[in-house]
Amino acid sequence: MSNLTSFIVRRLLIMIPTMFIISIICFVITELQPGDFLSQYLDNPRISPEQIEALRNELGLDKPAHYRYFLWLKNIVTKFDFGYSFSYQRPVFDLIWERMGWTIGISLLTILLQWLIAIPLGIFSAFNQYSFLDYMFSLIAFIGISLPEFFLALVLMFFALNSGYMYIGGLFSPDFLGAPWSFAKFVDLLKHLWIPLIVIGVSGIGGLYRVMRANLLDVINAPFITVLRARGLNESTVRKHAIKNALNPLVSIAGMELPNVFSGTIIASIVLNLPTIGPFFYNALLNHDQYLVMSFLMLIAFITQVGNLLADISLALLDPRIRIA
Protein backbone atom coordinates (compact mmCIF):
# COMPACT_ATOMS: atom_id res chain seq x y z
CA MET A 1 0.00 0.00 0.00
CA SER A 2 2.77 2.43 0.80
CA ASN A 3 3.88 1.86 -2.74
CA LEU A 4 0.52 3.12 -3.96
CA THR A 5 0.52 6.10 -1.61
CA SER A 6 3.91 7.25 -2.80
CA PHE A 7 2.70 6.78 -6.38
CA ILE A 8 -0.31 9.01 -5.72
CA VAL A 9 1.81 11.64 -4.01
CA ARG A 10 4.29 11.62 -6.87
CA ARG A 11 1.53 11.96 -9.46
CA LEU A 12 -0.07 14.82 -7.54
CA LEU A 13 3.29 16.57 -7.38
CA ILE A 14 3.82 16.14 -11.13
CA MET A 15 0.40 17.71 -11.69
CA ILE A 16 1.67 21.06 -10.35
CA PRO A 17 4.28 21.72 -13.08
CA THR A 18 1.91 20.17 -15.66
CA MET A 19 -0.90 22.55 -14.73
CA PHE A 20 1.62 25.40 -14.85
CA ILE A 21 2.57 24.51 -18.45
CA ILE A 22 -1.11 24.08 -19.29
CA SER A 23 -1.83 27.56 -17.95
CA ILE A 24 0.88 28.97 -20.23
CA ILE A 25 -0.61 27.16 -23.23
CA CYS A 26 -4.09 28.45 -22.38
CA PHE A 27 -2.77 31.98 -22.09
CA VAL A 28 -0.82 31.80 -25.35
CA ILE A 29 -3.82 30.39 -27.23
CA THR A 30 -6.12 33.18 -26.06
CA GLU A 31 -3.42 35.80 -26.52
CA LEU A 32 -2.86 34.75 -30.15
CA GLN A 33 -6.44 35.61 -31.02
CA PRO A 34 -6.54 38.66 -33.25
CA GLY A 35 -7.93 41.65 -31.38
CA ASP A 36 -9.20 41.71 -27.82
CA PHE A 37 -12.44 42.18 -25.95
CA LEU A 38 -12.59 45.84 -26.90
CA SER A 39 -12.12 45.34 -30.67
CA GLN A 40 -15.86 44.79 -31.02
CA TYR A 41 -16.41 48.40 -29.89
CA LEU A 42 -13.98 49.87 -32.40
CA ASP A 43 -16.63 50.11 -35.12
CA ASN A 44 -19.27 51.39 -32.74
CA PRO A 45 -19.73 55.12 -33.45
CA ARG A 46 -21.29 55.72 -30.02
CA ILE A 47 -18.05 54.87 -28.25
CA SER A 48 -15.16 57.26 -28.76
CA PRO A 49 -11.58 56.04 -29.06
CA GLU A 50 -10.80 57.82 -25.79
CA GLN A 51 -13.48 55.82 -24.01
CA ILE A 52 -12.04 52.60 -25.41
CA GLU A 53 -8.61 53.61 -24.17
CA ALA A 54 -10.05 54.33 -20.74
CA LEU A 55 -11.80 50.96 -20.71
CA ARG A 56 -8.65 49.23 -21.85
CA ASN A 57 -6.82 50.82 -18.96
CA GLU A 58 -9.57 49.84 -16.54
CA LEU A 59 -9.63 46.21 -17.68
CA GLY A 60 -5.85 46.04 -17.57
CA LEU A 61 -5.60 45.20 -21.25
CA ASP A 62 -3.03 47.94 -21.85
CA LYS A 63 -0.47 46.08 -19.74
CA PRO A 64 2.07 43.83 -21.48
CA ALA A 65 1.13 40.16 -21.94
CA HIS A 66 3.59 38.63 -19.46
CA TYR A 67 2.48 41.07 -16.76
CA ARG A 68 -1.17 40.08 -17.24
CA TYR A 69 -0.29 36.40 -17.24
CA PHE A 70 1.64 36.52 -13.98
CA LEU A 71 -1.01 38.69 -12.35
CA TRP A 72 -3.64 36.12 -13.35
CA LEU A 73 -1.48 33.26 -12.08
CA LYS A 74 -0.71 35.09 -8.84
CA ASN A 75 -4.38 35.70 -8.14
CA ILE A 76 -5.20 32.03 -8.77
CA VAL A 77 -2.48 30.81 -6.44
CA THR A 78 -2.94 33.36 -3.67
CA LYS A 79 -6.65 34.14 -3.76
CA PHE A 80 -8.11 31.32 -5.90
CA ASP A 81 -9.36 34.13 -8.10
CA PHE A 82 -9.54 33.09 -11.77
CA GLY A 83 -10.05 36.57 -13.09
CA TYR A 84 -12.93 38.73 -14.15
CA SER A 85 -15.25 38.19 -17.10
CA PHE A 86 -15.22 41.26 -19.34
CA SER A 87 -18.70 40.77 -20.74
CA TYR A 88 -20.46 39.64 -17.55
CA GLN A 89 -18.57 41.94 -15.19
CA ARG A 90 -18.37 39.15 -12.66
CA PRO A 91 -15.72 36.75 -11.36
CA VAL A 92 -15.07 33.93 -13.83
CA PHE A 93 -15.12 31.29 -11.13
CA ASP A 94 -18.71 32.11 -10.10
CA LEU A 95 -19.89 32.14 -13.72
CA ILE A 96 -18.43 28.71 -14.47
CA TRP A 97 -19.60 27.31 -11.15
CA GLU A 98 -23.21 28.36 -11.83
CA ARG A 99 -23.26 26.41 -15.09
CA MET A 100 -21.46 23.37 -13.79
CA GLY A 101 -24.58 21.74 -12.33
CA TRP A 102 -26.30 20.89 -15.59
CA THR A 103 -23.04 20.19 -17.37
CA ILE A 104 -21.88 17.62 -14.83
CA GLY A 105 -25.38 16.23 -14.43
CA ILE A 106 -25.89 15.66 -18.15
CA SER A 107 -22.34 14.31 -18.52
CA LEU A 108 -22.71 11.77 -15.72
CA LEU A 109 -26.13 10.67 -16.98
CA THR A 110 -24.65 10.20 -20.46
CA ILE A 111 -21.76 8.13 -19.11
CA LEU A 112 -24.17 5.98 -17.09
CA LEU A 113 -26.29 5.42 -20.18
CA GLN A 114 -23.23 4.57 -22.27
CA TRP A 115 -21.99 1.91 -19.87
CA LEU A 116 -25.45 0.45 -19.30
CA ILE A 117 -25.95 -0.02 -23.04
CA ALA A 118 -22.46 -0.68 -24.38
CA ILE A 119 -21.13 -3.19 -21.84
CA PRO A 120 -23.99 -5.74 -21.99
CA LEU A 121 -24.12 -5.51 -25.79
CA GLY A 122 -20.35 -5.92 -26.03
CA ILE A 123 -20.49 -8.99 -23.79
CA PHE A 124 -23.33 -10.44 -25.83
CA SER A 125 -21.49 -9.85 -29.12
CA ALA A 126 -18.26 -11.41 -27.88
CA PHE A 127 -20.01 -14.56 -26.67
CA ASN A 128 -21.98 -14.78 -29.91
CA GLN A 129 -19.21 -13.81 -32.31
CA TYR A 130 -20.17 -13.90 -36.01
CA SER A 131 -23.87 -14.23 -35.17
CA PHE A 132 -26.38 -12.07 -36.99
CA LEU A 133 -26.91 -9.83 -33.97
CA ASP A 134 -23.15 -9.45 -33.53
CA TYR A 135 -22.89 -8.13 -37.08
CA MET A 136 -25.88 -5.85 -36.54
CA PHE A 137 -24.55 -4.36 -33.31
CA SER A 138 -21.08 -3.93 -34.78
CA LEU A 139 -22.48 -2.12 -37.80
CA ILE A 140 -24.64 0.13 -35.63
CA ALA A 141 -21.63 0.85 -33.40
CA PHE A 142 -19.62 1.82 -36.47
CA ILE A 143 -22.36 4.18 -37.61
CA GLY A 144 -22.59 5.63 -34.10
CA ILE A 145 -18.87 6.40 -34.08
CA SER A 146 -19.10 7.96 -37.54
CA LEU A 147 -22.03 10.29 -36.84
CA PRO A 148 -21.03 13.89 -36.20
CA GLU A 149 -22.84 15.07 -33.08
CA PHE A 150 -24.31 18.16 -34.66
CA PHE A 151 -25.68 16.17 -37.59
CA LEU A 152 -27.26 13.59 -35.31
CA ALA A 153 -28.84 16.43 -33.33
CA LEU A 154 -30.28 17.95 -36.52
CA VAL A 155 -31.62 14.59 -37.75
CA LEU A 156 -33.24 13.78 -34.40
CA MET A 157 -34.77 17.25 -34.28
CA PHE A 158 -36.15 16.70 -37.76
CA PHE A 159 -37.76 13.38 -36.91
CA ALA A 160 -39.08 14.69 -33.62
CA LEU A 161 -40.60 17.73 -35.33
CA ASN A 162 -42.14 15.62 -38.06
CA SER A 163 -43.85 13.33 -35.62
CA GLY A 164 -45.28 16.35 -33.83
CA TYR A 165 -43.08 15.92 -30.75
CA MET A 166 -43.10 19.15 -28.76
CA TYR A 167 -40.20 18.73 -26.38
CA ILE A 168 -37.24 19.75 -28.56
CA GLY A 169 -34.47 22.12 -27.59
CA GLY A 170 -33.66 23.32 -24.08
CA LEU A 171 -34.37 21.22 -21.03
CA PHE A 172 -37.79 22.53 -20.02
CA SER A 173 -40.96 23.69 -21.69
CA PRO A 174 -41.52 27.45 -21.33
CA ASP A 175 -44.21 26.89 -18.66
CA PHE A 176 -41.79 25.15 -16.37
CA LEU A 177 -38.77 27.38 -16.86
CA GLY A 178 -39.10 29.46 -13.72
CA ALA A 179 -41.38 27.06 -11.87
CA PRO A 180 -40.31 25.34 -8.66
CA TRP A 181 -39.47 21.63 -8.83
CA SER A 182 -42.48 19.37 -9.03
CA PHE A 183 -43.24 15.95 -10.43
CA ALA A 184 -44.68 17.48 -13.59
CA LYS A 185 -41.53 19.52 -14.08
CA PHE A 186 -39.42 16.40 -13.66
CA VAL A 187 -41.46 14.54 -16.29
CA ASP A 188 -41.10 17.54 -18.57
CA LEU A 189 -37.33 17.38 -18.05
CA LEU A 190 -37.24 13.69 -18.96
CA LYS A 191 -39.17 14.40 -22.15
CA HIS A 192 -36.54 16.93 -23.16
CA LEU A 193 -33.54 15.02 -21.92
CA TRP A 194 -33.47 11.94 -24.12
CA ILE A 195 -32.48 13.73 -27.32
CA PRO A 196 -29.39 15.38 -25.78
CA LEU A 197 -28.41 12.14 -24.05
CA ILE A 198 -28.53 10.23 -27.34
CA VAL A 199 -26.68 12.96 -29.22
CA ILE A 200 -23.87 13.22 -26.68
CA GLY A 201 -23.73 9.53 -25.91
CA VAL A 202 -23.93 7.70 -29.22
CA SER A 203 -20.31 7.89 -30.34
CA GLY A 204 -19.18 6.85 -26.87
CA ILE A 205 -21.58 3.90 -26.86
CA GLY A 206 -20.15 2.73 -30.18
CA GLY A 207 -16.56 3.08 -29.02
CA LEU A 208 -17.13 1.45 -25.65
CA TYR A 209 -19.01 -1.44 -27.25
CA ARG A 210 -16.15 -2.11 -29.65
CA VAL A 211 -13.54 -2.03 -26.90
CA MET A 212 -15.59 -4.29 -24.64
CA ARG A 213 -16.17 -6.78 -27.43
CA ALA A 214 -12.49 -6.82 -28.47
CA ASN A 215 -11.28 -7.13 -24.86
CA LEU A 216 -13.60 -9.99 -24.11
CA LEU A 217 -12.67 -11.80 -27.34
CA ASP A 218 -9.00 -11.54 -26.33
CA VAL A 219 -9.76 -12.94 -22.88
CA ILE A 220 -11.94 -15.78 -24.19
CA ASN A 221 -9.01 -17.04 -26.24
CA ALA A 222 -6.56 -16.74 -23.35
CA PRO A 223 -5.05 -19.98 -21.99
CA PHE A 224 -6.41 -19.51 -18.48
CA ILE A 225 -9.97 -19.76 -19.79
CA THR A 226 -9.09 -23.09 -21.40
CA VAL A 227 -7.68 -24.19 -18.06
CA LEU A 228 -10.91 -23.24 -16.31
CA ARG A 229 -12.89 -25.28 -18.83
CA ALA A 230 -10.44 -28.20 -18.56
CA ARG A 231 -10.96 -28.24 -14.83
CA GLY A 232 -14.62 -28.79 -15.46
CA LEU A 233 -16.06 -25.45 -14.34
CA ASN A 234 -19.50 -24.88 -15.73
CA GLU A 235 -19.88 -22.42 -18.59
CA SER A 236 -21.53 -19.63 -16.62
CA THR A 237 -18.67 -19.56 -14.10
CA VAL A 238 -16.13 -19.50 -16.92
CA ARG A 239 -17.97 -16.59 -18.47
CA LYS A 240 -18.03 -14.73 -15.18
CA HIS A 241 -14.25 -14.99 -14.96
CA ALA A 242 -13.84 -13.93 -18.57
CA ILE A 243 -16.05 -10.85 -18.15
CA LYS A 244 -14.29 -9.82 -14.95
CA ASN A 245 -10.93 -9.92 -16.68
CA ALA A 246 -12.17 -8.09 -19.74
CA LEU A 247 -13.68 -5.28 -17.67
CA ASN A 248 -10.43 -4.29 -15.97
CA PRO A 249 -8.78 -2.44 -18.86
CA LEU A 250 -11.98 -0.44 -19.33
CA VAL A 251 -11.20 1.43 -16.13
CA SER A 252 -8.48 3.32 -17.95
CA ILE A 253 -11.08 4.42 -20.50
CA ALA A 254 -13.35 5.61 -17.72
CA GLY A 255 -10.71 8.16 -16.74
CA MET A 256 -10.92 9.86 -20.13
CA GLU A 257 -14.68 9.50 -20.31
CA LEU A 258 -15.71 12.48 -18.20
CA PRO A 259 -13.60 15.10 -20.01
CA ASN A 260 -14.61 13.63 -23.37
CA VAL A 261 -18.32 13.66 -22.64
CA PHE A 262 -17.89 17.02 -20.97
CA SER A 263 -16.49 18.50 -24.16
CA GLY A 264 -19.04 16.54 -26.21
CA THR A 265 -21.78 18.53 -24.50
CA ILE A 266 -20.39 21.71 -26.09
CA ILE A 267 -21.59 21.00 -29.63
CA ALA A 268 -24.83 19.33 -28.56
CA SER A 269 -25.64 22.24 -26.25
CA ILE A 270 -25.07 24.82 -28.96
CA VAL A 271 -27.41 23.01 -31.38
CA LEU A 272 -30.00 21.92 -28.83
CA ASN A 273 -29.84 25.09 -26.75
CA LEU A 274 -28.97 23.44 -23.44
CA PRO A 275 -28.03 25.48 -20.34
CA THR A 276 -24.60 23.85 -20.01
CA ILE A 277 -21.24 25.53 -20.12
CA GLY A 278 -20.79 24.75 -23.85
CA PRO A 279 -22.59 27.70 -25.50
CA PHE A 280 -21.18 29.90 -22.75
CA PHE A 281 -17.62 28.87 -23.67
CA TYR A 282 -18.36 29.33 -27.37
CA ASN A 283 -19.66 32.87 -26.83
CA ALA A 284 -16.74 33.70 -24.57
CA LEU A 285 -14.41 32.55 -27.36
CA LEU A 286 -16.13 34.78 -29.90
CA ASN A 287 -16.21 37.76 -27.52
CA HIS A 288 -12.53 37.44 -26.57
CA ASP A 289 -13.55 37.06 -22.95
CA GLN A 290 -10.02 35.97 -22.22
CA TYR A 291 -10.08 34.96 -18.56
CA LEU A 292 -13.29 33.00 -19.03
CA VAL A 293 -11.82 30.99 -21.93
CA MET A 294 -8.53 30.36 -20.14
CA SER A 295 -10.20 29.25 -16.93
CA PHE A 296 -12.54 26.91 -18.77
CA LEU A 297 -9.67 25.28 -20.67
CA MET A 298 -7.73 24.97 -17.41
CA LEU A 299 -10.74 23.36 -15.77
CA ILE A 300 -11.13 20.76 -18.51
CA ALA A 301 -7.42 19.97 -18.45
CA PHE A 302 -7.56 19.62 -14.67
CA ILE A 303 -10.52 17.24 -14.87
CA THR A 304 -8.59 15.14 -17.41
CA GLN A 305 -5.56 14.96 -15.14
CA VAL A 306 -7.64 13.95 -12.14
CA GLY A 307 -9.59 11.44 -14.23
CA ASN A 308 -6.39 9.80 -15.46
CA LEU A 309 -5.00 9.63 -11.95
CA LEU A 310 -8.20 8.08 -10.58
CA ALA A 311 -8.21 5.57 -13.44
CA ASP A 312 -4.62 4.55 -12.72
CA ILE A 313 -5.32 4.18 -9.01
CA SER A 314 -8.43 2.08 -9.47
CA LEU A 315 -6.71 -0.04 -12.10
CA ALA A 316 -3.92 -0.75 -9.63
CA LEU A 317 -6.42 -1.62 -6.93
CA LEU A 318 -8.51 -3.85 -9.20
CA ASP A 319 -5.79 -5.71 -11.01
CA PRO A 320 -3.00 -7.12 -8.85
CA ARG A 321 -0.96 -7.92 -11.97
CA ILE A 322 -0.37 -4.25 -12.60
CA ARG A 323 2.71 -3.01 -10.84
CA ILE A 324 3.21 0.63 -10.13
CA ALA A 325 6.59 1.82 -11.26
Question: Which residues would be at the binding site for another protein (CB under 8 A)?
Answer: 18, 21-22, 25, 29-30, 32-34, 139, 142-143, 145-151, 154-155, 157-158, 161-162, 168-169, 214, 259-260, 262-264, 266-267, 270-271, 281-282, 285-286, 293, 296-297, 300-301, 304-305
Hey, which bits of 4-122 come out as E strands? none
Alpha helix (H) ranges present in the chain? 2-32, 49-59, 65-79, 92-127, 132-146, 149-162, 183-220, 223-230, 235-247, 250-272, 277-286, 290-318
- Smallest distance from the beta carbon of 274 to another protein, in angstroms? 14
By C-beta, is 22 or 316 nearer to another protein?
22
Give the shortest CB-145-to-another protein separation in angstroms: 6
Nearer to another protein, 171 or 297 (CB): 297
Please identify, using beta-carbon distances, which residue of 109 and 168 lies nearer to another protein: 168
Q: Can you tell me the distance from the alpha carbon of 37 to that of 14, in angstroms, rounded to the nearest whole number?
A: 34
Closest CB 200 distance from another protein, rounded Å: 11
Instruction: Provide, rounded to whole angstroms, the least separation between the CB of residue 236 and another protein.
Output: 29
- Residue 84 sits at φ, ψ, to 5 deg, of -120, 135
The percent helix, strand, coil of the chain (3-state, each to 5) is: 75, 0, 20
Q: In angstroms, rounded to a whole number, what is the distance separating the alpha carbons of residues 301 and 18? A: 10
3-class SS of residue 58: helix
Nearer to another protein by C-beta: 1 or 32? Answer: 32
**CB-wise, 135 or 186, nearer to another protein?**
135
Amino acid at 61: L
> Minimum Å distance from CB 166 to another protein?
11
301 and 22 Cβ atoms separated by less than 8 Å = yes
Taking the complex as a whole, how short is the minimal distance between the CB of residue 33 and another protein, in angstroms?
5
Q: Which is nearer to another protein, 29 or 184 (CB)?
A: 29
